[in-house]
Amino acid sequence: MSLQKVQSTATLLPLEFTPIFKRTRWGGERLGTQLHKLIGIEGDYGESWELSDHPTAQTRIANGEFAGWTLSQLIHKDPDALFGVGNCNTTFPLLIKFIDATDRLSLQVHPDNSDQQKFDSIESGKSEAWVILDAAEGSQIYAGLKPGVDECRLRRHLEQGTIEECLHSYPVQKGDCVYIPAGTLHAIGEGVLLAEIQQTSDITYRLFDWNRLDQSGNPRPLHITKAFESISFDRGPVDLIQPQKQFAAGHDVEQLLESEYFSIRRHQSQHSFSLPTLSQAQVLVILEGEGQLDCGEETYELLPGKTILIPATAPDCQIHMDAEITFLEVIPA
């Protein structure tokens, strides 16, 4: 990953977005109480789509000269200013969410790029990473299959209603990070609040929904055939990521992930510091603390739950804090 700056035709300052909220049967209130989202009073808000260029749910720019625009419109106008010279993206390749799960989500799988073409030529595959922001005591996640579980065994346990015996699961706590490559059978357990970084795709195949019924007494639709076609049976268990410390002057940095689709670094500091911009887009996701981002002549408030896209051609930034701040730096591959 090159950190060398390149020249472009325009300077583009950091962008903030108006999130899209999604109410779900398993949602709660922590998007509002912990992440300062302006949700309603219903108490069932499961997702906040912070930055999305997905055609069915495009977040709009909330600041500056392009306020009200979608990312697609901006990419069409000046892709070099956003991505850097020579980048061929026509869609922003990452989707950033917060998820509040008060109940266990369905057991599901996302196809990879090659499998997805069999089902939908428009969508990409979907690999994703989770960073745990809060977890009730006993909260866990399901990530992959136990060693030795093949398709035949999984089908047998699915038919018998004992599929949980096939799943690799473990408790999680605040600060944990896990990468869920496409093809991994997985579920978020109850009590978990997390940030999700994923490819720009909204394809999910549900294999099992824990025998739950909706308000009309009917089960939710499952996608058993497509799910089995998408599961990578040779992957086995998927464990927590072990962060790698990196050197940075004046503050702590951990490399959480470097995948073929995106990388994630976690920054933590009690002191102001410089944040050089790159020759490509980078996204900041604020997890804890308060402060401000100074870029050019503009200042941006930093609060838990804030997501900011820094374009490739933005000037170098300064981060100042009122208290210790923790944020993710996400860079598309």
Do the annotations mark residue 128 as ligand-binding? yes
Do the annotations mark residue 76 as ligand-binding? no
Biggest CA pair distance of the chain: 63
Can 206 be counted among the known catalytic residues? yes
Do the annotations mark residue 186 as ligand-binding? yes
Q: How far is CA 20 from CA 17, 27, 90, 98, in A?
A: 9, 14, 22, 11
Q: How far is CA 264 from CA 30, 48, 241, 296, in A?
A: 23, 19, 11, 25
Rounded CA-CA distance 46/24 in Å is: 5
Q: Which of 206, 212, 235, 265 is catalytic?
A: 206
Among 200, 209, 20, smallest CA distance to 104 is for: 209
Residue 131, sorted as left (phi over 0), alpha (psi -120 to 50) or beta, turns out to be beta
328 class by beta-carbon count within 10 Å (0-12 exposed, 13-18 middle, 19+ buried): buried
Q: Two tokens at 115?
A: 């499998």
Question: Which positions are annotated as active-site residues?
Answer: 206
Binding-site annotation, residues for Zn(2+): 110, 128, 186
Binding-site annotation, residues: 110, 128, 186
